Amino acid sequence: MKRTNESKVAPVASEDHVPHDRILHDHHHDGIDRRGFLKCMAWAGTGAFCVIKGGVLSSYSLGFPDFHKHAAQGELSFVQISDSHMGFDKAANPDVVSTLKAAVDKINALPVQPEFILHTGDISHLSKPSEFDTVDQLLKAASTKDIFFVPGEHDVLNDDGKQYLDRYGKGTQGAGWYSFDKNGVHFVGLVNVMNLKAGGLGSLGAEQLEWLEKDVKHLSKSTPIVVFAHIPLWSVYPQWGWGTDDSGQALSYLKRFGSVTVLNGHIHQTMQKVEGNVTFHTATSTAFPQPKPGEAASPGPMKVPAEQLRTLLGVTDVNYVQGRHALAVTDSDLA
Amino acid sequence: MKPRVCIFAMAVFAIVLGIGGNWKTYAAPADAQSAAETAIKIDNFSFTPATVTIPAGTTVRWTNRDDIPHTIVSDDKTFKSKALDTDDQFTYTFTKPGTYSYFCSIHPKMTGKVVVQ
Protein backbone atom coordinates (compact mmCIF):
# COMPACT_ATOMS: atom_id res chain seq x y z
CA MET A 1 0.00 0.00 0.00
CA LYS A 2 1.94 2.97 1.25
CA ARG A 3 5.52 3.59 0.38
CA THR A 4 7.31 6.47 2.02
CA ASN A 5 10.39 7.46 0.14
CA GLU A 6 13.44 7.66 2.36
CA SER A 7 15.55 10.02 0.30
CA LYS A 8 15.40 13.66 1.16
CA VAL A 9 14.73 15.52 -2.02
CA ALA A 10 14.02 19.19 -1.51
CA PRO A 11 10.58 20.12 -2.75
CA VAL A 12 10.63 22.12 -5.93
CA ALA A 13 9.42 25.63 -5.30
CA SER A 14 5.86 26.29 -6.39
CA GLU A 15 5.60 28.03 -9.68
CA ASP A 16 2.82 30.44 -10.30
CA HIS A 17 1.91 29.43 -13.77
CA VAL A 18 -0.29 26.93 -15.48
CA PRO A 19 1.90 23.87 -16.01
CA HIS A 20 -0.37 21.93 -18.30
CA ASP A 21 0.82 23.66 -21.43
CA ARG A 22 4.50 23.60 -20.67
CA ILE A 23 7.06 21.44 -22.44
CA LEU A 24 9.08 19.66 -19.80
CA HIS A 25 11.50 17.95 -22.11
CA ASP A 26 12.03 17.69 -25.80
CA HIS A 27 13.43 14.18 -25.85
CA HIS A 28 12.62 13.65 -29.47
CA HIS A 29 14.43 16.82 -30.48
CA ASP A 30 11.78 17.19 -33.09
CA GLY A 31 11.59 20.93 -32.92
CA ILE A 32 7.93 20.91 -31.98
CA ASP A 33 7.37 24.13 -30.04
CA ARG A 34 4.74 24.93 -27.44
CA ARG A 35 2.32 26.16 -30.06
CA GLY A 36 2.73 22.91 -31.92
CA PHE A 37 1.97 20.99 -28.79
CA LEU A 38 -1.08 23.08 -28.11
CA LYS A 39 -2.35 22.26 -31.56
CA CYS A 40 -1.87 18.58 -30.79
CA MET A 41 -3.63 19.02 -27.49
CA ALA A 42 -6.60 20.53 -29.22
CA TRP A 43 -6.68 17.43 -31.37
CA ALA A 44 -6.30 15.10 -28.41
CA GLY A 45 -8.70 16.66 -25.96
CA THR A 46 -6.65 17.08 -22.84
CA GLY A 47 -9.16 16.64 -20.08
CA ALA A 48 -10.86 19.03 -17.77
CA PHE A 49 -10.90 20.71 -14.41
CA CYS A 50 -13.82 19.25 -12.53
CA VAL A 51 -15.65 20.24 -9.40
CA ILE A 52 -18.00 17.80 -7.74
CA LYS A 53 -20.70 19.12 -5.43
CA GLY A 54 -23.27 16.77 -4.01
CA GLY A 55 -22.47 14.19 -6.64
CA VAL A 56 -22.94 16.61 -9.52
CA LEU A 57 -19.87 17.22 -11.59
CA SER A 58 -19.08 20.51 -13.27
CA SER A 59 -16.17 20.63 -15.64
CA TYR A 60 -14.16 23.45 -17.09
CA SER A 61 -11.58 23.43 -19.81
CA LEU A 62 -7.99 23.49 -18.69
CA GLY A 63 -7.85 27.05 -19.95
CA PHE A 64 -10.16 28.12 -17.11
CA PRO A 65 -8.29 31.19 -15.85
CA ASP A 66 -8.72 30.61 -12.09
CA PHE A 67 -8.01 26.93 -12.39
CA HIS A 68 -4.99 26.80 -10.12
CA LYS A 69 -6.29 29.33 -7.65
CA HIS A 70 -9.31 27.14 -7.17
CA ALA A 71 -7.17 24.07 -6.85
CA ALA A 72 -5.05 25.76 -4.22
CA GLN A 73 -8.04 26.48 -1.99
CA GLY A 74 -8.49 22.90 -0.88
CA GLU A 75 -7.45 21.48 2.42
CA LEU A 76 -6.42 18.21 0.89
CA SER A 77 -4.94 17.58 -2.48
CA PHE A 78 -3.35 14.51 -3.94
CA VAL A 79 -2.18 13.26 -7.28
CA GLN A 80 -3.12 10.10 -9.13
CA ILE A 81 -0.71 8.48 -11.54
CA SER A 82 -1.33 5.19 -13.28
CA ASP A 83 -0.17 2.54 -15.70
CA SER A 84 3.57 3.24 -15.75
CA HIS A 85 4.13 -0.15 -17.48
CA MET A 86 7.82 0.00 -16.67
CA GLY A 87 9.57 -2.42 -19.04
CA PHE A 88 7.29 -1.71 -22.01
CA ASP A 89 9.51 -0.89 -24.99
CA LYS A 90 7.32 -1.16 -28.08
CA ALA A 91 6.61 1.46 -30.72
CA ALA A 92 3.74 3.07 -28.80
CA ASN A 93 6.35 4.42 -26.36
CA PRO A 94 9.90 3.06 -26.39
CA ASP A 95 10.88 5.30 -23.46
CA VAL A 96 8.47 4.83 -20.54
CA VAL A 97 11.21 5.94 -18.14
CA SER A 98 11.21 9.45 -19.60
CA THR A 99 7.46 9.79 -19.52
CA LEU A 100 7.26 8.69 -15.88
CA LYS A 101 10.04 11.17 -15.12
CA ALA A 102 7.99 13.85 -16.86
CA ALA A 103 5.02 12.94 -14.68
CA VAL A 104 7.16 13.34 -11.56
CA ASP A 105 8.44 16.69 -12.82
CA LYS A 106 4.86 17.75 -13.41
CA ILE A 107 3.90 16.79 -9.86
CA ASN A 108 6.87 18.68 -8.45
CA ALA A 109 5.87 21.76 -10.44
CA LEU A 110 2.32 21.90 -9.08
CA PRO A 111 1.59 25.21 -7.32
CA VAL A 112 0.34 23.29 -4.28
CA GLN A 113 2.27 20.21 -3.28
CA PRO A 114 -0.08 17.24 -2.98
CA GLU A 115 -0.16 15.41 0.35
CA PHE A 116 0.37 12.09 -1.32
CA ILE A 117 0.41 10.21 -4.60
CA LEU A 118 -1.89 7.37 -5.58
CA HIS A 119 -0.63 4.89 -8.16
CA THR A 120 -3.56 2.94 -9.57
CA GLY A 121 -1.62 -0.04 -10.85
CA ASP A 122 0.31 -1.52 -13.73
CA ILE A 123 3.43 -0.19 -12.10
CA SER A 124 5.39 -2.75 -14.12
CA HIS A 125 4.77 -4.31 -17.51
CA LEU A 126 5.88 -7.88 -16.74
CA SER A 127 6.13 -7.99 -12.92
CA LYS A 128 9.93 -8.10 -13.14
CA PRO A 129 11.81 -7.03 -10.00
CA SER A 130 13.94 -4.63 -12.07
CA GLU A 131 10.80 -2.92 -13.38
CA PHE A 132 9.46 -2.29 -9.87
CA ASP A 133 12.94 -1.12 -8.79
CA THR A 134 13.05 1.41 -11.62
CA VAL A 135 9.65 2.87 -10.75
CA ASP A 136 10.55 3.09 -7.07
CA GLN A 137 13.75 4.86 -7.98
CA LEU A 138 12.01 7.36 -10.30
CA LEU A 139 9.31 8.12 -7.74
CA LYS A 140 11.96 8.99 -5.17
CA ALA A 141 12.44 12.23 -7.11
CA ALA A 142 8.88 13.26 -6.28
CA SER A 143 8.77 15.96 -3.64
CA THR A 144 5.73 14.17 -2.22
CA LYS A 145 7.04 11.18 -0.30
CA ASP A 146 3.88 9.29 0.57
CA ILE A 147 2.78 6.99 -2.23
CA PHE A 148 -0.13 4.58 -2.09
CA PHE A 149 -0.46 1.70 -4.54
CA VAL A 150 -2.99 -0.82 -5.77
CA PRO A 151 -1.92 -3.56 -8.19
CA GLY A 152 -2.78 -3.81 -11.86
CA GLU A 153 -2.93 -7.15 -13.65
CA HIS A 154 0.61 -6.55 -14.94
CA ASP A 155 1.93 -6.40 -11.36
CA VAL A 156 0.72 -9.83 -10.30
CA LEU A 157 1.89 -12.00 -13.22
CA ASN A 158 3.19 -15.52 -12.60
CA ASP A 159 3.19 -15.46 -8.79
CA ASP A 160 -0.39 -14.59 -7.80
CA GLY A 161 0.78 -11.22 -6.60
CA LYS A 162 3.30 -12.44 -4.03
CA GLN A 163 6.03 -10.05 -5.11
CA TYR A 164 3.60 -7.13 -5.22
CA LEU A 165 2.53 -7.87 -1.64
CA ASP A 166 6.14 -8.19 -0.49
CA ARG A 167 6.95 -4.79 -1.97
CA TYR A 168 3.78 -2.76 -1.49
CA GLY A 169 1.43 -4.78 0.65
CA LYS A 170 2.63 -4.00 4.17
CA GLY A 171 -0.36 -3.51 6.44
CA THR A 172 -2.90 -4.50 3.80
CA GLN A 173 -5.55 -7.20 3.79
CA GLY A 174 -5.94 -10.17 1.43
CA ALA A 175 -4.47 -9.46 -2.01
CA GLY A 176 -3.50 -5.93 -0.95
CA TRP A 177 -6.67 -3.97 -0.15
CA TYR A 178 -6.74 -1.35 2.61
CA SER A 179 -8.21 1.95 3.72
CA PHE A 180 -6.95 5.10 5.40
CA ASP A 181 -8.23 8.52 6.43
CA LYS A 182 -6.81 11.89 5.45
CA ASN A 183 -8.30 15.22 6.51
CA GLY A 184 -11.74 13.75 6.99
CA VAL A 185 -11.75 11.89 3.67
CA HIS A 186 -11.91 8.08 3.76
CA PHE A 187 -9.75 6.41 1.12
CA VAL A 188 -10.25 2.79 0.09
CA GLY A 189 -7.76 0.93 -2.12
CA LEU A 190 -9.29 -2.14 -3.76
CA VAL A 191 -7.76 -5.01 -5.75
CA ASN A 192 -9.76 -6.21 -8.76
CA VAL A 193 -7.08 -7.96 -10.81
CA MET A 194 -6.83 -11.31 -9.02
CA ASN A 195 -8.55 -14.65 -9.67
CA LEU A 196 -10.18 -13.46 -12.88
CA LYS A 197 -12.67 -15.93 -14.35
CA ALA A 198 -12.86 -17.06 -17.98
CA GLY A 199 -15.10 -14.74 -19.97
CA GLY A 200 -15.37 -12.32 -17.06
CA LEU A 201 -14.23 -8.84 -16.12
CA GLY A 202 -12.28 -7.48 -13.17
CA SER A 203 -13.20 -9.10 -9.88
CA LEU A 204 -13.19 -8.05 -6.22
CA GLY A 205 -14.31 -11.35 -4.73
CA ALA A 206 -16.44 -12.23 -1.70
CA GLU A 207 -13.71 -11.79 0.92
CA GLN A 208 -12.85 -8.26 -0.18
CA LEU A 209 -16.50 -7.24 -0.50
CA GLU A 210 -17.15 -8.45 3.04
CA TRP A 211 -14.19 -6.43 4.25
CA LEU A 212 -15.40 -3.33 2.40
CA GLU A 213 -18.86 -3.55 3.91
CA LYS A 214 -17.35 -3.65 7.39
CA ASP A 215 -14.77 -0.98 6.60
CA VAL A 216 -17.32 1.71 5.74
CA LYS A 217 -20.05 0.64 8.15
CA HIS A 218 -18.91 2.86 11.02
CA LEU A 219 -18.50 6.00 8.91
CA SER A 220 -21.03 8.83 8.97
CA LYS A 221 -22.82 9.37 5.69
CA SER A 222 -21.31 12.82 5.33
CA THR A 223 -17.79 11.35 5.10
CA PRO A 224 -16.40 11.88 1.61
CA ILE A 225 -15.25 8.56 0.18
CA VAL A 226 -12.54 8.03 -2.41
CA VAL A 227 -12.26 4.51 -3.79
CA PHE A 228 -9.33 3.64 -6.02
CA ALA A 229 -8.66 0.42 -7.93
CA HIS A 230 -6.95 -0.51 -11.18
CA ILE A 231 -9.74 -1.76 -13.46
CA PRO A 232 -12.72 0.60 -13.75
CA LEU A 233 -15.47 -0.10 -11.22
CA TRP A 234 -18.08 0.82 -13.82
CA SER A 235 -18.84 -0.72 -17.18
CA VAL A 236 -16.74 1.40 -19.50
CA TYR A 237 -16.66 -1.21 -22.27
CA PRO A 238 -17.18 -4.80 -21.14
CA GLN A 239 -16.41 -6.11 -24.64
CA TRP A 240 -12.80 -5.16 -23.95
CA GLY A 241 -12.94 -6.26 -20.33
CA TRP A 242 -13.19 -2.67 -19.12
CA GLY A 243 -15.34 -3.18 -16.08
CA THR A 244 -15.59 -5.19 -12.85
CA ASP A 245 -18.07 -8.04 -12.45
CA ASP A 246 -18.97 -7.43 -8.82
CA SER A 247 -18.51 -3.64 -8.63
CA GLY A 248 -22.28 -3.19 -8.17
CA GLN A 249 -22.06 -5.00 -4.86
CA ALA A 250 -19.20 -2.76 -3.72
CA LEU A 251 -21.03 0.40 -4.75
CA SER A 252 -24.15 -0.72 -2.90
CA TYR A 253 -22.21 -0.35 0.36
CA LEU A 254 -21.40 3.25 -0.60
CA LYS A 255 -24.92 4.32 -1.56
CA ARG A 256 -25.67 6.06 1.71
CA PHE A 257 -22.70 8.41 1.42
CA GLY A 258 -23.18 11.91 0.04
CA SER A 259 -19.96 12.05 -1.94
CA VAL A 260 -18.18 9.08 -3.48
CA THR A 261 -15.37 9.42 -5.98
CA VAL A 262 -14.03 6.36 -7.77
CA LEU A 263 -10.57 6.61 -9.35
CA ASN A 264 -9.33 3.96 -11.77
CA GLY A 265 -6.63 3.37 -14.35
CA HIS A 266 -6.28 0.46 -16.79
CA ILE A 267 -7.83 2.06 -19.88
CA HIS A 268 -5.07 4.63 -20.44
CA GLN A 269 -7.41 7.52 -21.12
CA THR A 270 -9.53 9.97 -19.23
CA MET A 271 -13.19 9.20 -18.80
CA GLN A 272 -15.76 10.47 -16.35
CA LYS A 273 -19.26 9.50 -15.40
CA VAL A 274 -21.66 10.59 -12.69
CA GLU A 275 -24.18 8.16 -11.31
CA GLY A 276 -26.21 9.49 -8.40
CA ASN A 277 -23.78 10.25 -5.58
CA VAL A 278 -20.87 8.56 -7.31
CA THR A 279 -18.42 10.17 -9.69
CA PHE A 280 -16.23 7.80 -11.68
CA HIS A 281 -12.96 8.90 -13.14
CA THR A 282 -10.26 7.08 -15.07
CA ALA A 283 -6.74 8.43 -15.41
CA THR A 284 -4.37 8.50 -18.33
CA SER A 285 -1.26 6.33 -18.36
CA THR A 286 2.25 7.64 -17.92
CA ALA A 287 3.37 5.09 -20.57
CA PHE A 288 1.17 4.74 -23.64
CA PRO A 289 -2.38 5.60 -24.76
CA GLN A 290 -5.08 3.08 -25.62
CA PRO A 291 -7.87 3.57 -28.14
CA LYS A 292 -11.32 4.82 -27.31
CA PRO A 293 -13.81 2.01 -26.68
CA GLY A 294 -14.63 0.18 -29.87
CA GLU A 295 -12.53 2.46 -32.07
CA ALA A 296 -9.89 -0.19 -32.79
CA ALA A 297 -9.77 -3.95 -33.29
CA SER A 298 -8.48 -4.39 -29.75
CA PRO A 299 -7.49 -2.37 -26.68
CA GLY A 300 -3.77 -2.75 -27.48
CA PRO A 301 -1.30 0.15 -27.23
CA MET A 302 -2.21 3.00 -29.57
CA LYS A 303 0.62 4.19 -31.76
CA VAL A 304 0.57 7.93 -32.26
CA PRO A 305 3.16 10.26 -33.79
CA ALA A 306 5.96 10.94 -31.31
CA GLU A 307 5.08 14.61 -30.97
CA GLN A 308 1.53 13.72 -29.92
CA LEU A 309 2.41 11.04 -27.39
CA ARG A 310 2.80 13.26 -24.36
CA THR A 311 -0.49 14.96 -24.96
CA LEU A 312 -2.13 11.59 -24.36
CA LEU A 313 -0.24 10.74 -21.17
CA GLY A 314 -0.57 12.45 -17.86
CA VAL A 315 -1.28 12.88 -14.19
CA THR A 316 -4.48 13.56 -12.25
CA ASP A 317 -4.56 16.14 -9.50
CA VAL A 318 -7.34 15.77 -6.96
CA ASN A 319 -8.24 18.46 -4.49
CA TYR A 320 -10.66 18.26 -1.57
CA VAL A 321 -12.26 21.32 -0.04
CA GLN A 322 -13.33 20.54 3.50
CA GLY A 323 -16.84 21.57 4.43
CA ARG A 324 -18.02 21.58 0.84
CA HIS A 325 -17.68 17.87 0.35
CA ALA A 326 -16.37 18.58 -3.06
CA LEU A 327 -13.53 16.96 -4.88
CA ALA A 328 -11.98 18.65 -7.84
CA VAL A 329 -10.39 16.26 -10.31
CA THR A 330 -7.94 17.74 -12.76
CA ASP A 331 -6.13 15.95 -15.55
CA SER A 332 -3.05 17.34 -17.14
CA ASP A 333 -0.97 15.88 -19.89
CA LEU A 334 2.80 15.47 -20.00
CA ALA A 335 3.38 17.76 -22.94
CA MET B 1 -33.22 -14.01 -46.86
CA LYS B 2 -32.02 -17.21 -45.26
CA PRO B 3 -29.96 -18.55 -48.19
CA ARG B 4 -28.28 -15.19 -48.48
CA VAL B 5 -27.27 -15.31 -44.80
CA CYS B 6 -25.99 -18.84 -45.40
CA ILE B 7 -23.87 -17.78 -48.35
CA PHE B 8 -22.53 -14.86 -46.36
CA ALA B 9 -21.66 -17.13 -43.43
CA MET B 10 -19.86 -19.52 -45.75
CA ALA B 11 -17.94 -16.65 -47.28
CA VAL B 12 -16.86 -15.43 -43.86
CA PHE B 13 -15.86 -18.96 -42.92
CA ALA B 14 -13.79 -19.28 -46.08
CA ILE B 15 -12.07 -15.98 -45.39
CA VAL B 16 -11.26 -17.05 -41.83
CA LEU B 17 -9.85 -20.33 -43.09
CA GLY B 18 -7.80 -18.49 -45.69
CA ILE B 19 -6.24 -16.18 -43.15
CA GLY B 20 -5.48 -19.10 -40.83
CA GLY B 21 -3.73 -20.97 -43.62
CA ASN B 22 -1.65 -18.00 -44.71
CA TRP B 23 -0.52 -17.30 -41.22
CA LYS B 24 0.72 -20.83 -40.64
CA THR B 25 3.04 -20.74 -43.61
CA TYR B 26 4.21 -17.25 -42.70
CA ALA B 27 4.78 -17.54 -38.96
CA ALA B 28 5.59 -21.11 -38.23
CA PRO B 29 7.32 -22.79 -41.16
CA ALA B 30 9.04 -25.26 -38.81
CA ASP B 31 5.71 -26.30 -37.34
CA ALA B 32 4.34 -27.18 -40.74
CA GLN B 33 6.81 -30.04 -40.97
CA SER B 34 5.35 -31.67 -37.91
CA ALA B 35 1.93 -33.18 -38.45
CA ALA B 36 1.38 -33.46 -34.72
CA GLU B 37 1.56 -29.76 -34.05
CA THR B 38 -1.10 -27.07 -34.38
CA ALA B 39 -0.53 -23.33 -34.13
CA ILE B 40 -2.76 -20.77 -32.43
CA LYS B 41 -1.99 -17.12 -32.84
CA ILE B 42 -2.70 -14.50 -30.19
CA ASP B 43 -3.37 -11.22 -31.93
CA ASN B 44 -5.56 -8.23 -31.16
CA PHE B 45 -6.55 -9.73 -27.82
CA SER B 46 -7.99 -12.90 -29.35
CA PHE B 47 -7.01 -16.51 -29.99
CA THR B 48 -7.03 -17.47 -33.69
CA PRO B 49 -8.49 -19.88 -34.39
CA ALA B 50 -10.65 -19.67 -31.29
CA THR B 51 -11.49 -23.36 -31.56
CA VAL B 52 -9.18 -26.09 -32.87
CA THR B 53 -10.07 -29.74 -33.28
CA ILE B 54 -7.07 -32.09 -33.11
CA PRO B 55 -6.32 -35.78 -32.74
CA ALA B 56 -4.99 -36.94 -29.36
CA GLY B 57 -1.22 -36.63 -29.14
CA THR B 58 -1.13 -33.27 -30.94
CA THR B 59 0.91 -30.43 -29.53
CA VAL B 60 -0.63 -26.97 -29.63
CA ARG B 61 1.73 -24.04 -29.93
CA TRP B 62 0.45 -20.59 -28.93
CA THR B 63 2.41 -17.53 -30.10
CA ASN B 64 1.75 -14.04 -28.74
CA ARG B 65 1.76 -11.46 -31.54
CA ASP B 66 0.44 -8.61 -29.36
CA ASP B 67 2.44 -5.80 -27.76
CA ILE B 68 0.80 -6.78 -24.47
CA PRO B 69 1.50 -9.96 -22.47
CA HIS B 70 -1.08 -12.73 -22.38
CA THR B 71 -1.43 -16.11 -20.68
CA ILE B 72 -3.01 -19.42 -21.62
CA VAL B 73 -4.83 -21.03 -18.70
CA SER B 74 -7.32 -23.90 -18.99
CA ASP B 75 -10.56 -23.37 -17.09
CA ASP B 76 -9.87 -26.45 -14.96
CA LYS B 77 -6.16 -25.49 -14.58
CA THR B 78 -4.98 -28.60 -16.51
CA PHE B 79 -2.46 -26.36 -18.23
CA LYS B 80 -1.21 -22.89 -17.40
CA SER B 81 1.43 -20.77 -19.10
CA LYS B 82 3.55 -18.01 -17.64
CA ALA B 83 2.86 -14.54 -19.00
CA LEU B 84 3.95 -14.52 -22.65
CA ASP B 85 5.60 -11.33 -23.82
CA THR B 86 5.56 -10.39 -27.50
CA ASP B 87 6.58 -13.37 -29.69
CA ASP B 88 6.87 -15.70 -26.70
CA GLN B 89 5.40 -19.17 -27.19
CA PHE B 90 3.71 -21.80 -25.06
CA THR B 91 3.16 -25.44 -26.03
CA TYR B 92 1.01 -28.15 -24.53
CA THR B 93 0.54 -31.70 -25.78
CA PHE B 94 -3.00 -33.03 -25.53
CA THR B 95 -2.97 -36.77 -24.88
CA LYS B 96 -6.55 -37.37 -23.68
CA PRO B 97 -9.68 -36.80 -25.78
CA GLY B 98 -12.05 -34.15 -24.51
CA THR B 99 -12.90 -30.47 -24.79
CA TYR B 100 -10.48 -28.09 -23.13
CA SER B 101 -11.69 -24.53 -22.61
CA TYR B 102 -9.01 -21.99 -21.84
CA PHE B 103 -8.61 -18.23 -21.41
CA CYS B 104 -6.09 -15.47 -20.80
CA SER B 105 -5.98 -14.96 -17.04
CA ILE B 106 -4.87 -11.33 -17.55
CA HIS B 107 -7.63 -10.52 -20.06
CA PRO B 108 -10.34 -13.09 -19.27
CA LYS B 109 -12.55 -11.91 -22.12
CA MET B 110 -10.10 -13.80 -24.32
CA THR B 111 -11.29 -17.39 -24.50
CA GLY B 112 -10.57 -20.41 -26.70
CA LYS B 113 -11.25 -24.10 -26.99
CA VAL B 114 -9.23 -27.18 -27.92
CA VAL B 115 -11.29 -30.21 -28.94
CA VAL B 116 -9.21 -33.41 -28.74
CA GLN B 117 -10.60 -36.42 -30.60
Any idea where the domains of chain B sit in the sequence? 31-116
- CA quadruple A132, A134, A136, A142: dihedral, nearest 10: -150
What does the mean pLDDT of chain B come to? 81
pLDDT bin (cut points 50, 70, 90) of residue A113 is: confident
**Which chain A residues touch B108 with a CB distance below 8 Å?**
196-201, 241
pLDDT score recorded for residue A109: 84
pLDDT score recorded for residue A12: 27
Q: For CA atoms A235, A236, A238, A241, give the dihedral sign.
A: negative
Secondary structure (DSSP) of A74-131: -SEEEEEE----BT--STT-S-HHHHHHHHHHHHHT-SS--SEEEE-S--BSS--HHH
**Predicted complex ipTM:** 0.77
Query: B103 in contact with A at a CB cutoff of 8 Å?
Result: yes
Q: Nearest by CB to A126, from B85, B103, B107: name it.
A: B85
Q: What is the pLDDT of residues A116-125, one digit of tens each?
A: 999 999 999 9
> Of A142, A216, A139, nearest to A177 (Cα)?
A216
- CA quadruple A101, A107, A108, A109: dihedral, nearest 10: 110
d(CA A118, CA A80): 5
Phi, psi of B111 (to 5 degrees): -130, 155
Tell me if B69 and A125 make a contact (CB, 8 A cut-off).
yes
Classify domain B31-116 at the CATH topology level.
Answer: Immunoglobulin-like (2.60.40)
Tell me if A196 and B68 make a contact (CB, 8 A cut-off).
no
pLDDT score recorded for residue A18: 31
CA distance A240 to chain B (A): 7
Q: What is the pLDDT of residues B22-78, one digit of tens each?
A: 333 344 444 444 469 999 999 999 999 999 999 999 999 999 999 999 999 999 999
Tell me if A241 and B107 make a contact (CB, 8 A cut-off).
yes
pLDDT score recorded for residue A326: 57
Q: Nearest by CB to B69, from A92, A157, A298: name it.
A: A157
Query: A221 in contact with B at a CB cutoff of 8 Å?
Result: no
Phi, psi of B99 (to 5 degrees): -110, 125
**Nearest residue on chain A to B69, judged by CA atoms?**
A126
Q: How far out from the chain centre does Cα A61 lie?
A: 19
Indicate if the pLDDT at residue B6 is higher than 60: no
Judged on CB neighbours under 10 Å (0-12, 13-18, 19+), B61 is: middle
Tell me if A158 and B85 make a contact (CB, 8 A cut-off).
no
**Which chain B residues touch A241 with a CB distance below 8 Å?**
107-109
Tell me if A199 and B44 make a contact (CB, 8 A cut-off).
no
Answer with the residue of higher pLDDT: A273 or A66: A273
Query: B32 in contact with A at a CB cutoff of 8 Å?
Result: no
**CB of A283 within 8 A of CB of A120?**
yes
If one counts every other C-beta atom within 10 angstroms of the C-beta of residue A90, the result is: 17
Domain residue extents for chain A: 37-333
Indicate if the pLDDT at residue A188 is higher than 70: yes
Tell me if A198 and B75 make a contact (CB, 8 A cut-off).
yes
Q: For CA atoms B41, A295, A200, A313, give the dihedral sign.
A: positive
Number of A to B CB contacts under 8 A, please give it: 59
d(CA B89, CA A158): 15
**Partners of A53 in the β-ladder:** A56
Among A122, A155, A157, which would you mutate to test the B interface (most chain B Cβ atoms within 10 Å of its Cβ)?
A157
Superfamily of A37-333 according to CATH? Metallo-dependent phosphatases (3.60.21.10)
**Which chain B residues touch A198 with a CB distance below 8 Å?**
75, 101-103, 108, 111
**CB of A278 within 8 A of CB of A263?**
no
Query: A295 in contact with B at a CB cutoff of 8 Å?
Result: no
Q: Nearest by CB to A299, from B45, B82, B102: name it.
A: B45
The pTM for the full model equals 0.79
Beta carbons within 8 Å of B30's beta carbon, 6+ residues apart: none
